[in-house]
Every structure is written in structure tokens, then in C-alpha cells.
Chain A
Amino acid sequence: MSVTASKEDANVTLEAKSVVSPWKDAWKGLKKNKLALVGTGIVVLFIMLAIFADFIAPQSYKEQVLPDALQSPSADHWFGTDDLGRDIFSRVVYGARISLWIGFFAVLVSAILGSFLGIIAGYYGRWIDMLISRLFDIMLAFPSILLAIAIVAILGPSLQNALLAIAIINVPTFGRLVRSKVISIKEEEYVTAAKAIGMRDSRILFHHVLPNSVAPIIVQGTLGIGTAILDAAALGFLGLGAQAPDPEWGRMLSDARSYITQAPWTLIFPGGAIMLTVLGFNLMGDGLRDVLDPRMKN
């Protein structure tokens, strides 16, 4: 007995050195994935732009200098100027603030709402699952951008309403993801074990079921930010999102589209910014999925 115990002891100390917390483990895995690192780099870059926009942008994003309208990129205006003579570089930098803000908060709201509904549906099953799942099905039956347009049309066009609309259309994605995860987790023995020590349902849900489904939520969330930014740009382009003079990228594209032949830079730079951010989030999301999803390991 004592021999085995000390042997076990030794094993554990040996393991303890090599095993770190799951999050450090995930970071280590992410570091090995070059593409994911590039994606993370892009995301960090844009976050920096958004935070320090006041220091980075050389000019105001809304100050109109009409004599300087539609100038091509130069030392004074790195990305050129638009039809109202506003510095496009400054506008793209400030635009990062709007896009990331929409991306993060839309995803946050839909992740919270979706997880909540998904947990309830998955854990309790029966009629409540029926109700929530059919609601998701109905929402997914609409093309998402159409649904967003409908919601904004009802609420009135503004940035906040666009955010809300994007949040709502993404709820089913999170809801279904969490629901399927919860259905598999609730059959786990540690949930039965938790019940067997007298834990109440609500505590089991938030202390055992939710933390174990957090990895796919994070992955979906990262990928979802990219989609949300794209949706926000689409709504902005249609005039349903950010209103002038807010430098929202989609809005900038829409304002500039009549100058596409004379001043292509008015479209290239905001368009490029959208592409780059979405690419960044997608690469990062894919990388996170590889390290956080145990099925993808090995």
C-alpha cells in the first residue's frame, strides 16, 4: 500500500510539472499555429487602432475640407480624401472603433442570450426545448441579413439598432451550439455525481454545464465577430446602420460608390479594412477551434 502510494505520489508530481492550466495550454497550441498568430496579430492591430484612434488619426474624421476633395493618396493624406475632402486614413482608423464595438457587443449580447436559451432548451428538454428550438428554426429560415433589415426597419435606422439587429439574428447560432453541447454534457457522470451530492439544478447548470461548454462558445464568438462586422458593414452600406458623419466602413463604401472610377481609393481602403478585420477574426477563430476543441487535437 505504502509503496503504491509513494509511486502514485511521484507520478503526480511528475505530471504536475508538465501540466498547466487549460488556458495556458490553449495559448501554447495557438502559438504553434502560424496562421492563427497572424490572425491574432491583425485583430490586436485593429483593437489598438480603435483604442488609440485619437492619437493615431492625423486629422478629424468629420472635418470637411472641400478644396481637398477626392485627392489621391499622398504624404499628407495616406489613403487620399473622399468627396467631402475628409482624410480617409483618419476615417478608417476611427471606423475600427465602430466596427469592433459593434462586433464585440453584438456577439456578447447574442452569446449571452443564445447560451441562456440553449442551456434551458438542452437541459430541460421536452416542450420548452420544442418551443425554443422551433423559434430558432424560424429565425434561421430567414436569410439573416433580411431579418436584420426587417428589425432595423421596425426600430429605425441607427447604429444601436443595427447592433441589436445583428445580435438578434445571431442568437440561434449560439443557442443551437450550446443546446447540443448541453445535451451531451448533461449525460456526463459528473452531472449525475453533482446531483447525487444534492446540488440544485440552477447551480448545476451554471457551475457544471456552462463552464464545460465555454470553449465552443468562444470559438463561435470569435468567428461571429467577423460575421457581425460584415453584417454591420452591409447594414451601413444600405443606409440602415451608422449615420453620417460616422466613419463606419460600410457606410463609407456606400458613400463612395459613385466615385469608383475616378477615385478608387475611396473604396479600396475601407473595403480593405473590412476584409482584413474579418480575415483576422476568422483565422484567430479557426486557430482557437483547433486548440480548444478536443476532437481536433492530435
Chain B
Amino acid sequence: MDKPILEVKELKTHFLTDNGSVPAVDGIDFHLNDGEVLGIVGESGSGKSVTSLSIMQLVGQPGKIVDGEILFDGEDLVKASEKRMRQVRGGKIGMIFQEPMTSLNPVYKIGNQLVEALRIHKKMSKDAARKRAIEIMKLVGLPRAEDLMNDYPHQLSGGMRQRVMIAMAMICEPKILIADEPTTALDVTIQAQILDLMKKLNHELNTSIIMITHDLGVVSEVCDRIAVMYAGRIVEEGETKSLLRNPQHPYTKGLVESIPDVRYKKERLYSIPGNVPTPGSVKKGCPFAARCAFAFDKCSEDSPILIDLGDNHRVRCLLHEEENGAELLQTSMK
């Protein structure tokens, strides 16, 4: 369980534009253990999706991985050839996307799209691939699998399409499933079903999952560990329970406090002031300093480093270098 299947080391993905290089992902480290569900959380623009596309080596122009390693089972994917990557994609690492409405090709029947991965990776015959496709559709909880094979994507509801996407990603039994905001476009009841399904896949097939989301509710539901990203970096990392109960970074604390709770009627929901800075705009100091309620002089000068707090909990905040910093964090944000 504790053997990492995926290790990302010092990954830097920059977008090389005419106005200079924009660091969307600016040196992140994390690992994914075998059979684990890791959540990567952050606001829009914090670099979550670029991270997942980097793992698949699918960052489009003008994006480029400028530094770092992505070790999958010990093999560095950054250096892997395009041919090797094609074997990894879909075969070893599956991926699902945010928009089930647009992730399926509208002109092909579901069945044809499902068997595609099998034909690529397993060189299966048409009949065998069809059988396997029906099997996997049943596994992901799609009713009337045989009929659905002949349906077009527009005939399916959003939830069913996301199940098809998951089936497509899982059909070759990859070791890792990267889910990029898999439930964002779905309504709440379907969201819960999809999350249940992902948990089931994790338990039954021992698939390791990277769940990318901005929804802390989703991560608390399914993830073993959480990494919080901010402005292209990981600012806090830890096991789900300890991280959510006892956030050690002001940003994580802000995120946790801005979750609405249906049981209590608060006067106002907390919101973190301001926006994520555009990548590369913060040259000096902590990128969160401008929005941070606890910021002090040092924050606009020094770049914080990742501090190990023990129990797999790590945080990138200057407060923890101060004497009374940790206690200060316990005070409310309001």
C-alpha cells in the first residue's frame, strides 16, 4: 500500500508565450501510493489540470515541461518516447475529464468508442472487445449495456456519459486513473453516484486514483490524502482527516471555512478575498501573501519552503517558522 506507484518530482510546466514564460506549474512534488486515492485541490487557475495533463504528456502548445521528473513505476515519463507514451495513456494510466457532454465524439456509437482503447492496447478481436466492453459497462453501473453500445452520445444523460467515460478509461484496467473534476458538471445526486463508483473501482480493482477538484466535499468523501495547490505549487499536503480538521496553511483554512454547511445557518459564508494571481506575476515572497489574513512582513520577502510537520503532513507557510505561528493559525479568520 505504501509503495509509490507515481512520483512527481520538482515538476515545472511552463507556457512559453510571446510575452515570456508563464509558470503554470512551478515545481511541485507529490507521490501516489499503490491503491491510494489522492485529491489535488485548488481554485481555478492554480495549475491542477496542467499537472494532470503533464503526467499524461498531453500539455498542448505552447505549454512545455521544462524541468522535473514524473516517475511511473520507476520510469520517467518526461523522457519517454511518444510511442511509449501512447502505450501508457489508456493502457497504464486512464484519464477522465470534467465535461462528459463534450468528451465523447458525437458521431460515433458508444460501443465503437469504448472498444477503441482495447483495440489499441490489447489488440483484441472485435467480438472479444465487444464482450469486454459490455462487461465494463455493467461494472460501472450502466443499465441495458447491450443496447447502449448502439446509442449515440447525445442520447445519454450527463451521468450516464460520465459512466461511459469512466468505462472508457478503465477498460484496459490501468493502474492509475486521473479524474479531472469528474463531478463538477453533474448534479448532486449523480455526483454522489459517480463518487461511489470511483470508490468501488478503487477497492475492487485496486486502481490508484488522482482526483482533481476544487470541491473539498468531494475530496473528503473519497480521498485518502490531499494535496492543496495554489499558484502552481503545493502549499499543503496531508491525510484527509488531519488536513481538513486541522489545516496548517491559511489558504487551506480559508477553503475549509468557505464550505457551506447545511446544518448551521451562518450569517455569511466565508470567502477568501481576491483572486489567484496570474502565474508568474508574483516575483518575490509567498504568492498567497496578498490574500492572506495572517500575512506579516516576511511573507512579501521570502519564499516559503515545504516544512514537514510529521504524520505525512507538510505545509509551505512562513508562519510555521515563527515561534507562535502555529497557535496564531488556530484563531478564526473573521
Which residues of A come within 8 Å of B, CB atoms? 1, 4-6, 8-9, 11-12, 15-16, 19, 21-22, 125-126, 188-190, 192-200, 207-208, 211-212
Q: Are A212 and B107 within 8 A (Cβ)?
A: yes
Tell me the minimal C-beta distance from B177 to chain A in angstroms: 11
- Offer 23 A-B interface pairs, CB within 8 angstroms, sorted by A: A4-B190, A6-B143, A8-B157, A9-B144, A11-B157, A12-B144, A15-B155, A16-B155, A19-B152, A21-B152, A189-B97, A189-B98, A189-B99, A189-B102, A190-B102, A192-B58, A193-B103, A196-B58, A196-B94, A196-B169, A198-B85, A208-B105, A211-B108
Q: A189-B98, A211-B108 are in contact. List 11 more A-B contacts (CB 8 A).
A: A4-B193, A8-B160, A188-B102, A189-B99, A190-B102, A190-B105, A195-B89, A196-B94, A196-B169, A198-B91, A198-B120
Give Cα A15–Cα B189 distance, bound, in whole angstroms. 21
Tell me the minimal C-beta distance from A9 to chain B in angstroms: 5
Residues A197 and B120 in contact in the complex (CB < 8 Å), given A188-B102, A189-B102, A189-B103 = yes
Give Cα A194–Cα B143 distance, bound, in whole angstroms. 24
Q: Are B169 and A12 within 8 A (Cβ)?
A: no
Residues of A within 8 A of B97 (CB): 189, 192-193, 196
Chain A residue at minimal CB-CB distance from B151: A16
Tell me the minimal C-beta distance from A274 to chain B in angstroms: 36
Q: Are B105 and A194 within 8 A (Cβ)?
A: yes
Give Cα A125–Cα B60 distance, bound, in whole angstroms. 12
Q: Are B141 and A5 within 8 A (Cβ)?
A: yes
Specify which of B58, B117, B143, B155 is in contact with A5 (CB 8 Å cutoff): B143
Q: Does B56 contact A (CB under 8 A)?
A: yes
Q: Are B116 and A211 within 8 A (Cβ)?
A: no
Give Cα A208–Cα B113 distance, bound, in whole angstroms. 10
Tell me the minimal C-beta distance from B64 to chain A in angstroms: 14
Residues of B within 8 A of A4 (CB): 189-190, 193
Q: Are A198 and B117 within 8 A (Cβ)?
A: yes
In the complex, the 10 A-B pairs of residues with the closest C-beta atoms, listed nearest first: A197-B90, A198-B90, A198-B89, A196-B95, A197-B117, A198-B86, A189-B102, A190-B105, A189-B103, A211-B107
